[in-house]
Amino acid sequence: MTRVREGSLVATAAFVAVGLTFVASAALAADLSAEDALYVSQVSVATEGDLAPEAEIVRDGQPISIAEAIALSIRNNLDIEVARFEPLIAEADRQGAWGSYDPTINADMRYDVRANPRANNFPGQPPQNRDRVKGGGVGIDQLIPYIGASIGFRYDAAATRTRSGIPSYKDDQIDSSLFFTARIPLARGLIWNTAWTEVKTSAIASAGARYDFTATLMNTVQQTVDAYWSLVAARDQVRVSQKSLETARALLDQTKTQYEVGVVSRVEVVEAEAGVADREFGVITTANDYRNAQDALIDAVLGPELGALTDLQFAPTENPDERGTTSVDVGESVETAFAKRPELMRVKSDIERSEVSLRFAKNQRLPQFDVDMRYGYTGLGGDPNTNPAFPTREDPTDPTSPIVLPPQIDFDSVDNEWFRRDGADSYRVQGTFSIPFPNTTARKRVVRNELDLRRAKTLKSRQEQSIVLEVRRAARTLLASLQGIEAAERRRLAAEEQLRAERIRLEHGESTPFEVLQRESDLVEAESQKINALRSYRLAEVGLERATGTILDDHAVVLDSASEPQQ
């Protein structure tokens, strides 16, 4: 019984051993087949387009400097073109506000028929008097700037024909007059009247619109410079990625040769192919970024000339590695910003506008107290009636004495009566006083304008605080960018040396393509880091110029020339 069991155990063990041997053989065969399956090259065939060897992603384009880019952007940028109209509109409003002081010429003509019942009942007389008046006048009125007074001249003339029992003239009675008028406000409307307030506020608004345009111009210059250096960085990134791809392809060819002579395994060939594919992806990404950067600069400097099929390329001529600023005086920079930043000037103009509005509101609380003056002459003319109903004789007691006719005044002498020593002059002085009670609207308007002024002053403090923060941040970023460039350069040199050493080790069989690709990736990353550091420095440089408000001076932009419309 015991022998039977031992035999069974031996048979079982043998069966297991055979089975394990079969499994091990199958696994080894599977490993070999897996290695064969891994080596399916997808990159050995030459690619086309951006991935083709020596592809011209960055081709020769139109050379352009920063100064040229800024000049073109000022001329073509649509944002600036839109902003140009605001100062022009505000200036038109400012000049239009003076129209309140244009002299006003007025004239009128009239034909008037008036019939009145007679109060007496003389025999032979019509039952009513009927007058027909034909006449008109012309005048001129003028509002005086600043004080709010107004003056005027008025000339009137009329011919009156009356159907009366006792007419003074045979035909028409001619009346004329010339009067000078004046109104002077002594309380409400003195100086801070509606017209003068509009003149002041429109002038402030015109200056504010110019500050807004200056800010837009500064922003556009900064955006153009940013787009310029972004294109430079994108161009350099493309060159680095293309160089990395060619290096990876050369390494793949070398690895294939080593595999064919049996120095390396197929797995190392696959690693080299993976490195090529990774670099191809980098070329595709950087090429896309480069073309987007080209479009951004074209849009900034050419504006509407960027079309769907535009094939233009710019070739920046500036060197991003030229740097000079090593220190920034933050205190001096803040003082410069306070003097030059258009945003702060805009807030100050808002304060001035609020002060003017407050003065006007306080003036409107006062009662109306106006003085009106009128002075002039009147004249009379016509053909006197020689047969009056009640004749006058030289000797009223002698009915046989000659009839005395009223003195005849010719029409030509009507106006001559004005300035004779005994001319018919008239004058009048009148005072007008009124005030609403309790004058709620005017009082509440003062409260509102006081609050508006306080808000404007608070905004000024907030703007100053923001400027201090922007200058500090820009100065700090600039200095950090300088340090970053130096650190990135040290890393690049170290990565370059490590790659060189790793290649030597590969040639002596002490390294693998994977390790070489890792070193090469480190070098690409270090070069990209330096490119980004240079770009960051240039952006920080123009950012500091914008923060201090000197960006137009630093780039020789003349505000008056830039404000002229281009279309």
pLDDT digits (tens, 9 = 90+) for 181-191: 999 999 999 99
pLDDT above 90 for 267:
no
* 503 belongs to a structural domain: no
Q: Please, are residues 526 and 205 in contact by the beta-carbon 8 Å criterion?
A: no
Q: Please, are residues 526 and 491 in contact by the beta-carbon 8 Å criterion?
A: yes
Q: What percent of the chain has pLDDT over 90?
A: 48
Which DSSP string corresponds to 370-386? EEEEEEEEEEEEEEE-S
- Span of 122-126, 302-306, 534-538 with lowest mean pLDDT: 122-126
3-class secondary structure per residue, 127-160: CEEEEEEEEEEEEEEEECCCCCCEEEEEEEEEEE
Highest mean pLDDT among 124-138, 173-187, 215-229, 400-414: 215-229
- Span of 33-37, 430-434, 540-544 with lowest mean pLDDT: 33-37
* Alpha helices in 365-508, H assignment, sequence order: 440-507
Tokens describing residue 213: 């345009």
* 393 belongs to a structural domain: yes
* 449 belongs to a structural domain: no
* 428 belongs to a structural domain: yes
Q: What is the pLDDT of residues 45-86, one digit of tens each?
A: 456 788 888 888 988 889 999 999 999 999 888 888 889 999
Confidence at residue 21, expressed as pLDDT on a 0 to 100 scale: 37
Range of the domain at 371: 124-191+367-439
Q: What is the pLDDT of residues 348-367, one digit of tens each?
A: 999 999 999 999 999 999 99
Confidence at residue 24, expressed as pLDDT on a 0 to 100 scale: 37
Confidence at residue 261, expressed as pLDDT on a 0 to 100 scale: 84
Closest CA to 356 of 141, 208, 186, 513: 208
Residue 120's pLDDT band, with cuts at 50, 70 and 90, is low
Confidence at residue 325, expressed as pLDDT on a 0 to 100 scale: 59
State in Å, rounded, how far the first CA of the chain is from the last one: 115
* 379 belongs to a structural domain: yes
* 134 belongs to a structural domain: yes
Residues 467 and 469: their CA atoms lie apart, in Å, by 5
Confidence at residue 32, expressed as pLDDT on a 0 to 100 scale: 39
Confidence at residue 235, expressed as pLDDT on a 0 to 100 scale: 93
* 224 belongs to a structural domain: no
User: What's this model's pTM, rounded to 2 decimal places?
Assistant: 0.77
How many structural domains does the chain have?
A: 1
Q: What is the pLDDT of residues 475-522, one digit of tens each?
A: 999 999 988 998 998 999 998 899 889 888 888 878 888 888 888 888
Confidence at residue 411, expressed as pLDDT on a 0 to 100 scale: 44
8-state DSSP, 416: G
* 262 belongs to a structural domain: no
